[in-house]
């Protein structure tokens, strides 16, 4: 047995130096990282090495993270052999044996600090395709003490649903939403699915601190430890994008689902019966536990949702509007947060209108960059927790390298790449720090609501 003490180790280099014999490795961390980690290296599994998610030998990810280049250029092709190794084995092969799935795909051996155990998270994933890509996302964010909710769109194939159901059966803290919705783009069903996952998360018995919603075509840019440390700075405040609502046509008429699309009925939609300001934001964010309880239980939510569900893209308005109510737990006032001003760390997105300041090395679909391998240097530099979006079938290399990078940070428990100055200067964090403890209590927020209702009684009028 070998015992090796490492300080700020370069994990790439260290893995290359490890002997292949069975050993126990103890990693001692620098002062800012918690808890000693014990990793037991097991014998080579019976299933082919194709199934192992460890570093792909045919890639040179270190160089790819340093070079932003077109994936079709001659310079790029020099990073790979002419006949690269197979990308992965099939889920159908792995889910036949849950212990092999958990072992080979890293569900069991990720180090977890006491700080992470004391700060569990809830994740929700909405998916409609590619179970392999979703399972890659799941194994990256998975920790036994967290909670995970997955909704498989009814448009997904039966094969996709069955593959995910088999994966979920292997993991006790992951659930599928029992009812599968046909989630139409820009419709209220996006919100409906979120309500379902929020309720399942609350009912799970896990005392999670924050709820983070994702899509199946996203991937993480931060480890679980990094996310926890970032959210500790938020201290109960939400990260929800918000700005003045300016797309007026979305709220002028009733919109209904017709032939799997949002259809403008041309019937005029009356203005909301209260003078609540409707804001625009993102469907995705990081929601405090108290804010999720508020969404599910407060009586002001239903009339707001009932009106918004008749509009185009209500998922882009509901969280922003609720978060800016004066009595919303974890909410804030006096400022907006958004992708445009780099104050929405939940999601990294490269919109077409971000050009030419930021180049997309993949392709654009619905004005969003589908990231390619050439985007790796930019992705590594980002402050956000996750990036949207990726098509594994188009470019698996970008995901291979991001997964390797995150695994290296996870197993070394590194926090060195976090820019603490950026997070501490976020307006949400500064606002949270400015509040006195009593201003975050339920009793105080209820007094704010009582005052608010004096001018909004019409909200509950018959």
C-alpha to C-alpha distance for 14 and 71, rounded to whole angstroms: 29
C-alpha to C-alpha distance for 270 and 252, rounded to whole angstroms: 8
Retrieve residue 169's tokens.
């059966």
State phi, psi for 82 to the nearest 5 degrees: -65, -35
E strands present in 314-385: 347-348, 363-365, 368-370
Retrieve residue 398's tokens.
């970008």
The position carrying tokens 């470019």 is 395
For helices 289-297 and 301-308, angle between their N-to-C axes, nearest 10 degrees: 80
C-alpha to C-alpha distance for 35 and 409, rounded to whole angstroms: 15
Among 19, 13, 16, smallest CA distance to 1 is for 19
| Neighbour-count burial of 379, counting CB atoms closer than 10 A to its CB (0-12 exposed, 13-18 middle, 19+ buried) | buried
Among 240, 325, 250, smallest CA distance to 287 is for 240
Q: Are 142 and 168 in contact (CB under 8 A)?
A: no
C-alpha to C-alpha distance for 146 and 227, rounded to whole angstroms: 13
Q: Are 154 and 184 in contact (CB under 8 A)?
A: no
The one catalytic residue in 226, 229, 316, 392 is 316
C-alpha to C-alpha distance for 251 and 245, rounded to whole angstroms: 10
> Helix or strand or coil: residue 266?
strand
Retrieve residue 28's tokens.
């001692």
Reported as half-sphere exposure (CB side, CA atoms, 13 A), residue 212 has a value of 30
Q: Which residues contact 182 (CB under 8 A, 6 or more apart)?
A: 153, 154, 155, 189, 260
93 is catalytic: no
Q: Are 127 and 390 in contact (CB under 8 A)?
A: no
State phi, psi for 197 to the nearest 5 degrees: -70, -35
Catalytic positions, written as ranges: 316
């Amino acid at each position: 047995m070998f015992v090796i003490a490492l300080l700020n180790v370069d994990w790439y280099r260290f893995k290359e130096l490890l002997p292949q014999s069975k050993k126990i490795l103890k990693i001692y961390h620098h002062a800012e990282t918690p808890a000693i980690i014990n990793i037991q290296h097991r014998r080579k599994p019976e299933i082919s090495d194709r199934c192992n998610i460890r570093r792909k030998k045919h890639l040179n990810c270190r160089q790819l993270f340093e070079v932003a280049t077109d994936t079709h250029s001659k310079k790029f092709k020099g990073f790979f052999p002419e006949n690269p190794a197979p990308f992965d084995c099939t889920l159908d092969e792995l889910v036949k044996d849950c212990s092999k799935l958990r072992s080979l795909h890293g569900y069991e051996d990720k180090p977890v600090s006491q700080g992470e155990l004391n700060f569990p998270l809830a994740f929700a994933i909405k998916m409609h395709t590619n179970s392999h890509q979703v399972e890659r996302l799941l194994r990256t964010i998975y920790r036994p003490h967290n909670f995970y909710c997955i909704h498989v769109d009814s448009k997904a194939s039966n094969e996709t649903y069955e593959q995910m159901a088999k994966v979920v059966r292997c993991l006790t803290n992951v659930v599928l939403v029992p009812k599968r919705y046909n989630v139409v783009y820009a419709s209220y069903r996006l919100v409906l699915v979120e309500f379902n996952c929020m309720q399942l998360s609350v009912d799970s018995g896990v005392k999670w601190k924050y709820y983070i919603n994702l899509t199946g075509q996203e991937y993480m840019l931060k480890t679980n430890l990094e996310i926890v440390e970032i959210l500790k700075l938020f201290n109960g405040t939400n990260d929800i994008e918000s700005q003045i609502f300016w797309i007026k046509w979305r709220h002028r008429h009733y919109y209904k689902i017709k032939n799997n699309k949002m259809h403008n009925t041309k019937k005029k939609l009356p203005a909301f019966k209260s003078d609540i300001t409707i804001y625009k934001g993102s469907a995705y964010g990081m929601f405090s536990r108290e804010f999720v309880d508020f969404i599910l239980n407060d009586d002001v939510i239903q009339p707001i949702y009932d009106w918004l569900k008749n509009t185009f893209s209500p998922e882009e308005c509901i969280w922003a509007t609720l978060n800016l109510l004066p009595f919303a737990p974890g909410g804030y006032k006096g400022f907006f947060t958004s992708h445009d001003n780099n104050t929405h760390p939940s999601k990294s997105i490269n919109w077409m209108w971000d050009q030419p300041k930021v180049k997309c090395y993949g392709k654009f679909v619905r004005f969003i960059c589908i990231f390619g391998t050439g985007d790796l240097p930019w992705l590594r530099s980002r402050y956000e927790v996750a990036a949207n979006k990726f098509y594994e079938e188009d470019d698996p290399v970008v995901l291979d390298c991001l997964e390797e990078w995150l695994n290296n940070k996870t197993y070394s428990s590194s926090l060195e790449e976090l820019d603490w100055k950026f997070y501490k200067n976020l307006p949400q964090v500064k606002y949270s720090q400015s509040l006195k403890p009593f201003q975050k209590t339920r009793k105080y927020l209820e007094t704010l609501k009582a005052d608010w209702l004096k001018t909004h009684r019409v909200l509950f009028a018959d």
